[in-house]
Amino acid sequence: MKKYSEMTREELLSEKELLEKRYAEKKALGLKLDISRGKPSPEQLALSLPMLDLINSETENFKCENGFDIRNYGVVDGIPECRRLFGEILDAPAENVIVTGNSSLNLFYDLIAHAMCHGVPGGDAPWCECKERKLLCPAPGYDRHFAVGEYFGFKLIPIEMKNDGPNMNQVEALITDPDVKGIICVPKYSNPQGISYSAEVIERFANLSPAAKDFRIFWDNAYTVHHLDFDGEMDEIPSLLRLAEKNGKSDMVYMLGSTSKITFPTAGLAAVASSAANTADIKRMLSFQNIGPDKINQMRHVLFFKNLDGVLKHMRKQAEVIRPKFETVLTVLKEELGETGIAEWNSPKGGYFVSAELLEGTAKRTVSLCKEAGLAITGAGAVYPYGNDPGDSILRIAPTFAPVCELPQAMEIFCISAKLAAIEKLL
């Protein structure tokens, strides 16, 4: 098959006719398919159900290591054994880890809100006093991160993503502006591209010298143990906090993580690892905010996993469930789009997404064609600050939630739609 860009007008018209026929057939099926959000599937959630039986009236394991009763008030920074567990997951010393709540997005929001109202260690004033405050946003990125920044009145500045992480020349140039207060990163198996930052990029992060004394790197390591093939290639990255500590710059770093996609997105745990000064500052914030964090859930997680090795064994089971879904997505993409020359995509080694780069100017049209044929997909532009994809070309595919048997159908609709949109554009 010829590339679309090399086809004559007649060839494109006849390809279009074939695609329109296929599209009409799919539409007539009245399907309701969804590859829009990165949610664990019911089979994945079932893997963590035994955790719910580990603490009850018979087990009597209500005391944590420091002697506190996990059912009662207190221990705002998390029980020691759970801080240690997250220390292993995030690669940080346990004493620098705070475990709280069930959502890392919530923690990110709280950290920003706290900085806005009270400032952060090393800063002269609350961030709200900086009228032109700016947040650097490597893009494509996670839409909800951008939404939090926008909600708090930051000017969002997109940073180009390369194959090994954000364009660091751009980052280093922009942080000479004292109004740039932070950057939000997903350093491993990034959302949506599945990119892991290289050691060199992370070293440059650990060495940043921002003009703002209260500049912060929000290092959302959401997918740190989310490998897709535990017997194959897996990415590992160095700990930003440890590297920054060596450079005397650890106040710059908040490393975030959660078990939302390890156990349950609603009843998991979230944690932040940071410098001693930041950890004390966050602990103080929490002492006003919540004097009775859910330590029962912390203990459940500790009993269930014991240590990082336990987490990895569990994640291997998760990978067995979702790998076939990723494989299906990649197979259909290759079969349908491989020879057309209208799309490129990543083959991630972990994380939750496949990111497709379509012919410029066709992402929005592809989404609306998908929708009309019964396939929900994340909106075009969502992966850029302000929903503004300059090329209108990037779409995020989330394979985990849909049953594997639905994915071939969903991906065929996606590819037919992308091809139709491309031909419309070329004609």
Ligand X SMILES: Cc1ncc(COP(=O)(O)O)c(C=O)c1O
Using CB under 6 A, which residues numbered 58 to 87 contact ligand X? none
Q: How far is Cα 204 from Cα 175, in angstroms, rounded to an integer?
A: 13
Using CB under 6 A, which residues numbered 99 to 118 contact ligand X? 103-106
CB of 67 to ligand X, least distance (A): 29
CA quadruple 105, 307, 195, 163: dihedral positive or negative? positive
CB of 206 to ligand X, least distance (A): 20
* Neighbouring-strand partners of residue 274: 254
* C-beta of 256 vs 373, nearer to ligand X: 256
Per CB under 6 A, 383 contacts ligand X: no
* C-beta of 241 vs 416, nearer to ligand X: 241
Helix (H) or strand (E) holding 302: helix 295-305
Q: How far is Cα 111 from Cα 119, in angstroms, rounded to an integer?
A: 10
**How far is the CA of 426 from the CAs of 92, 165, 240, 334, in angstroms?**
51, 32, 45, 21
Complete edge-to-edge strand list for the sheet that includes strand 354-358:
343-345, 354-358, 394-397
CB of 107 to ligand X, least distance (A): 8
CB of 397 to ligand X, least distance (A): 14
CA quadruple 88, 93, 107, 148: dihedral positive or negative? negative
CB of 404 to ligand X, least distance (A): 20
Q: Which stretch binds ligand X (CB under 6 A): 98-106, 118-126, 130-138, 384-392?
A: 98-106
* C-beta of 36 vs 362, nearer to ligand X: 36
CB of 285 to ligand X, least distance (A): 18
* C-beta of 100 vs 258, nearer to ligand X: 258
CB of 237 to ligand X, least distance (A): 14
CB of 90 to ligand X, least distance (A): 13
Q: How far is Cα 183 from Cα 159, in angstroms, rounded to an integer?
A: 9
Q: How far is Cα 150 from Cα 171, in angstroms, rounded to an integer?
A: 19
Q: How far is Cα 202 from Cα 200, in angstroms, rounded to an integer?
A: 5
Q: Are 19 and 423 in contact (CB under 8 A)?
A: yes
Size, binding site for ligand X by CB under 6 A: 14
Per CB under 6 A, 191 contacts ligand X: yes
Q: How far is Cα 140 from Cα 137, in angstroms, rounded to an integer?
A: 8
Pairing of strands 180-185, 343-345: unpaired
Helix (H) or strand (E) holding 82: helix 80-90
* C-beta of 191 vs 297, nearer to ligand X: 191
Residue from 16, 38, 201, 328 that binds ligand X (CB under 6 A)? 38
Residue from 4, 23, 142, 189 that binds ligand X (CB under 6 A)? 142
What is the x/- site pattern for ligand X, positions 220-239, by CB under 6 A?
Answer: x-x-----------------
CB of 142 to ligand X, least distance (A): 4
Q: How far apart are the first and last CA of the chain?
A: 18
Q: Which residue has the tokens 């496949």?
A: 354
CB of 382 to ligand X, least distance (A): 12
Per CB under 6 A, 165 contacts ligand X: no
Per CB under 6 A, 258 contacts ligand X: yes
Farthest-apart Cα atoms in the chain, separation = 78
Q: How far is Cα 347 from Cα 350, in angstroms, rounded to an integer?
A: 9
Q: Are 34 and 401 in contact (CB under 8 A)?
A: yes
Per CB under 6 A, 139 contacts ligand X: no
Pairing of strands 155-162, 165-166: antiparallel
* C-beta of 37 vs 284, nearer to ligand X: 37
* C-beta of 222 vs 333, nearer to ligand X: 222
Helix (H) or strand (E) holding 272: strand 270-274
CB of 424 to ligand X, least distance (A): 32
* C-beta of 15 vs 143, nearer to ligand X: 143
Pairing of strands 270-274, 253-258: antiparallel
* C-beta of 19 vs 376, nearer to ligand X: 376
Per CB under 6 A, 260 contacts ligand X: yes
Which tokens go with 382? 């969502």
What is the x/- site pattern for ligand X, positions 261-290, by CB under 6 A?
Answer: ----x----x--------------------
Which tokens go with 141? 């990125």
Using CB under 6 A, which residues numbered 288 to 347 contact ligand X? none
* C-beta of 191 vs 239, nearer to ligand X: 191
* C-beta of 113 vs 128, nearer to ligand X: 113
Residues at the site binding ligand X, with contacts judged by CB under 6 A: 38, 103-106, 142, 186, 191, 220, 222, 258, 260, 265, 270
